[in-house]
Amino acid sequence: MCVSNRVVIDSAHYGKPVIHGTRLPVAVVVGSLAGGMSFAEIEHEYDITADDIRAALKFVMELAQQQSFHPLPVP
């Protein structure tokens, strides 16, 4: 399944979204950003482009928009 021209989901990667043409999970890209790595560091470390990084962020943003979150009651 092609989510975008840069993010794909298929059985070869156990259903995890990855950057097209790589085995790099979107979660690793977003986690690296959350951990403080810059776009340039991620591009160099994983041999992907800034557009790949933006596509990963867009994928996660769209996923978050589709979800509803409900706080659990405090006992």
Tell me the average pLDDT across 55-66. Answer: 92
- What's the CA gap between 43 and 60, in Å, rounded? 18
Ranges assigned E (strand) in 1-63: 7-9, 17-19
pTM of the model: 0.84
pLDDT confidence of residue 26: 97
Above 70 in pLDDT, residue 4? Answer: yes
Spell out the domains of the chain, with CATH numbers in brackets: 7-62 (1.10.10.10)
